A and B are shown apart, each in its own frame.
Chain A
Amino acid sequence: MAEVNNWQLGRTMQYPYPENRPRRQIAWVFDTNKCIACQTCTIACKSTWTWGSGQEYMLWNNVETKPFGFFPVGWDVELMNVLGPAKWTGGKLESQTIFEGLPAGERVKGWLPAEEDWASPNIGEDEPVGVAQQGSYIPSMPHNEMWFSYLARICNHCTYPGCVAACPRQAIYKRPEDGIVLVDQSRCRGYQECAQGCPYKKVMFNNNTRTSEKCIACFPKIEQGLQPQCVTSCIGRIRIAGFISPPGQVNPQNPIDYLVKVKKVALPLYPQAGTEPNVYYIPPMHAGRDYLHQMFGPGSDEAIKTYQNTKNDPELLGLMMLFGSTERIMHRFRVEGETAIGMDENGAELVRVPVREPSWVRTYFDEVRGAYNHNIT
C-alpha cells in the first residue's frame, strides 16, 4: 500500500499503487438541477457503444431517480453499508475509504451485485420520499418532506480507481494522456474483481465476450477535441466535459476549474469512497440536505447557496449558459457584458452565447383576440 494524496478528502490515504497523476485529467460537471431524466444521454451512449449482444443490460450511462432509483439496484445503499456513515471534520474525512481497514485477503472493500440487480435500470423512477397529503404544497427550499431528484451517472474515471485497485492482473489502466480508465480487452480474464471493487458499479460483464467492459469516455472523440456523446446529446444541457487542473493548481478561466475549485459549486459523488472521482455534480437544491451531505460531502450546503445566487453572478451564469453550446472541448471561457464566450486550447473562439436569453412577457389577456395568454419559460 502507498500513501497518496486525495484532495477531495483533505488528507492522504492508502492505495495499492503510488500517486501517479495523468498529464491531464478529463473531468465532467453535471448540473443535477437541470436534468429531466429524458435518458437521451443513456441512449446516445448505448447506441454508440453497447448495442452488441452480451451488453443488453450494460448502461455505461444511466440516469436514476434519487433516493429510490438505482442501477444496479441498491448500489449506493450497499456502498453505505460497506463504508458506514461518512465522518467529516471540516473538509477532512475521518472515516475509512474502500482502500483502508481492509478485511484479510481483499484488495478493496467491495461487493458484487446479484444478476437481477442489473435487470431494472430505471427502477424507482420519479418516486418521491414522503407522501402528499390533501392540500399539500411546498413552500420553500429544500423540499424536506417530499422530494426526488435525478442523478445522471457514468464512470468517474477516478484518480484512484477502485477497479484498478481490485484487478489482480493490472488489466485496467489509467491513460497518462487524459486520465481515461480503460479495461485492456486483450488482458481481461473475466474475473469481475473490478465489478466487485468499483464503488459506483460502473464496470460490467459482457455475457458474450466474457470480459468486463466500462465507459471509455468516448476517447476517440476526446482525442479529437470533442466532448463525449452523453455530453453533446444532453437535452437539458446539464453537462460539460473538459480537463481539470491537478490539485494545488487553479485556472479560473478553465470552466471545470472555475466550477469545481473557484466557485466550489460542483462536488464529487460519494467522495468518502476515496477514489477521487472526476465527475462533479451541482447538487439538487430542493433535495433533503442530510441526504446530500452523505452523497456529496460537506460542501453541499455552500454549493447550493452559490448555485442559488447564480442569477446575480454574471460569470457563473455565463458559464452555465455555455453548457451544451458546442461539441468541442472548451478549455477557457470569459464573459463580456451580456455575452459568454467559449474558447479552445489555443484561445480561439468556439462559441458565444447570450448570458440572458431574450424573453417577452405577454399580457394576461389579449384584447385583440379575446383570449387569455400563457407565459412559458
Chain B
Amino acid sequence: MTTDNSMDRRTFIQAAGALAAGGALAIGVATYVAMRPGAADKLVAHRHSGALPIDNPNADAWLDLDHFPVTMLMQQITTPHPSELAVPELWVRAMHNGTDIAFHLEWGDTDVNDMDKMVAFRDSVAVQLPVAEETDATAPKTSVTMGLAPVAAQGTTPATPGQTVHILHWKASWQYDVDKGRRTVKDLFPNMYNDVTPEGLLGEANSLVFYPGVFAGNSMSARERKSPIEELIASGFGSLTTHEKQQANGKGVNEKGRWRVVLSVPMDSGDATKAKVRAGTSIPVAFAAWNGTKQNRGARKQYANWVPMEVEA
C-alpha cells in the first residue's frame, strides 16, 4: 500500500506527464518527493564514515539513500485497536558508523500533533530490535508482539524464559520539549487561570509531591528533556518500561506534510538488556507509527512485522 505522496519513480513520471499536460497542482509536493532516489528492495544500514547526521533529517546524507518502503498494518492482535489505517507506509533508511546506528523514518502526515494534553494525542514512531541475538534475521525467534512474557504455570516460576525487545520511541511532543521547551498549562490553554500553585506557596522542592508523575520519576512527566527519543524494553504487550539507561538521540521534523525522524542509538551499549548491533550481520527490525489526529496511542497504532536489515561491514 502506498500513500498519495509516497509515489515511486514510475508513478512520478506519469504524474509529471500529467503536470506537463497542463495540470499544475501540487508541484511543490511532487518535486519534493521526486528529488530523491527510488525505493530500495532491501533494508540496509549503510556504513558511514564520521559522525552520523542525527540532528538533520533533511541532510543529503540521508536523502541520497534509497528508502526502503515498509507496509504498515493496523494493530489488531491485542486490544484496543485503532479505528482505521492512519499510517499505511513508512520509508526507512539506516546508517551506522561502527559505533552508533541511526534510522531515518519518513511518512505522510499533514496534521502535526505535538502536544500531550487531555483528549489530544501525539504523533510518534518507534523502532524495535530483539535483545537476544537472532541467528536468522528472516525468521526471528523473538515475537514481534513487543516480545513475549515468560510463561509459567500458576504458582511456579517461569519455565519458558521471556523474550525481550529493545524499543526506540520518538514522540513529536518530546521533540517540541527539546526544541522549544516544555509547554506549560498556559501554553496549552491560554485562558487558564490558576491563582495559587504549590511551587508558588511551598517552593519548588516542597511542591514536587503535588506533581505525582514528576515525583514518581515518570519519563512522561520529566521537566528537563534532552532527547526526543525514549529507550524502552518490553516482554509482551502491556509490559513496556522505560530503560534506566537513556542513550538514544535524534530529531524529527515535519515539512510539507511529511514527518522525517532520525533515531540513533549506540550499537553496543554494554548493557545486556539492550540490543547489540554488529556490523556485517543481518538483524530483524520492526516498526510502529502513531497518528495523533486519529487518537492513536498505545496499542492503537500501525505496526510492521520484522524486516531483515543488513548492517554493512
Q: Which residues of A contact B213 (CB under 8 A)?
A: 185, 188, 206, 209-211
Q: Which of A107-115, A126-134, A270-278, A365-373 lies at the interface?
A: A107-115
Q: Which residues of B contact A112 (CB under 8 A)?
A: 119, 295
Contact of A191 among B120, B207, B297 (CB under 8 A): B297
Q: Which of B31-39, B78-86, B281-289 lies at the interface?
A: B78-86
Interface size on A, residues (CB 8 A): 38
* CB–CB B238/A168 < 8 A: yes
Contact of A205 among B117, B189, B239 (CB under 8 A): B117
Question: Dominant SS at the A interface?
Answer: loop
Contact of A210 among B81, B220, B237 (CB under 8 A): B220
> Assuming A169-B240, A189-B298, is B117 touching A209 (CB within 8 A)?
no
CB-CB contacts below 8 Å: B250-285 with A: none
- Answer whether residue B125 sits at the interface, using C-beta atoms and an 8 A cutoff: no
Contact of A105 among B80, B189, B210, B215 (CB under 8 A): B80
* CB–CB A192/B210 < 8 A: no
Residues of B within 8 A of A (CB): 76, 78-82, 116-121, 173, 184-185, 188-189, 192-194, 196-199, 207, 210-218, 220-221, 237-240, 295, 297-299
Closest to B78 in A: A168
* CB–CB A209/B214 < 8 A: yes
Q: Which residues of A contact B215 (CB under 8 A)?
A: 185
Q: Which residues of B contact A187 (CB under 8 A)?
A: 218
In the complex, what distance in Å separates the CA atom of A266 from the CA atom of B158?
A: 46
Q: Which residues of A contact B193 (CB under 8 A)?
A: 56
Contact of B198 among A52, A56, A193, A206 (CB under 8 A): A52
Question: Dominant SS at the B interface?
Answer: loop
Contact with B along A180-197 (1 / 0, CB 8 A): 000011111111110100
Q: Which residues of A contact B120 (CB under 8 A)?
A: 115
Q: Which residues of A contact B198 (CB under 8 A)?
A: 51-52
Q: Which 9 A-B pairs have the closest CB atoms?
A: A105-B81, A209-B213, A185-B216, A209-B221, A205-B118, A211-B213, A186-B216, A52-B210, A185-B212
> Assuming A192-B119, A207-B189, A208-B185, is B212 touching A56 (CB within 8 A)?
no
Q: Which residues of A contact B221 (CB under 8 A)?
A: 208-211
Q: Which residues of A contact B238 (CB under 8 A)?
A: 168-170
> Assuming A186-B218, A207-B189, A213-B212, is B118 touching A107 (CB within 8 A)?
no
State how many angstroms separate the Cβ of A198 from the closest Cβ of chain B: 14
Contact with B along A100-141 (1 / 0, CB 8 A): 000011110000111100100000000000000000000000
* CB–CB B118/A192 < 8 A: yes
State how many angstroms separate the Cβ of B83 from the closest Cβ of chain A: 8
Contact with B along A34-72 (1 / 0, CB 8 A): 000000000000000001111010000000000000000
Contact of B212 among A104, A190, A207, A209 (CB under 8 A): A209
In the complex, what distance in Å separates the CA atom of A115 from the CA atom of B207?
A: 27
Closest to A117 in B: B119
In the complex, what distance in Å separates the CA atom of A69 from the CA atom of B212?
A: 30
Q: Which residues of B contact A79 (CB under 8 A)?
A: none
* CB–CB B299/A168 < 8 A: yes
> Assuming A53-B185, A104-B81, A193-B298, is B117 touching A207 (CB within 8 A)?
yes
Q: Which residues of B contact A188 (CB under 8 A)?
A: 213, 218, 220
* CB–CB B189/A211 < 8 A: no
Q: Which residues of B contact A189 (CB under 8 A)?
A: 220, 240, 298
- Answer whether residue A204 sits at the interface, using C-beta atoms and an 8 A cutoff: yes
Q: Which residues of B contact A192 (CB under 8 A)?
A: 118-119, 121, 297
* CB–CB B194/A168 < 8 A: no
Closest to B183 in A: A207
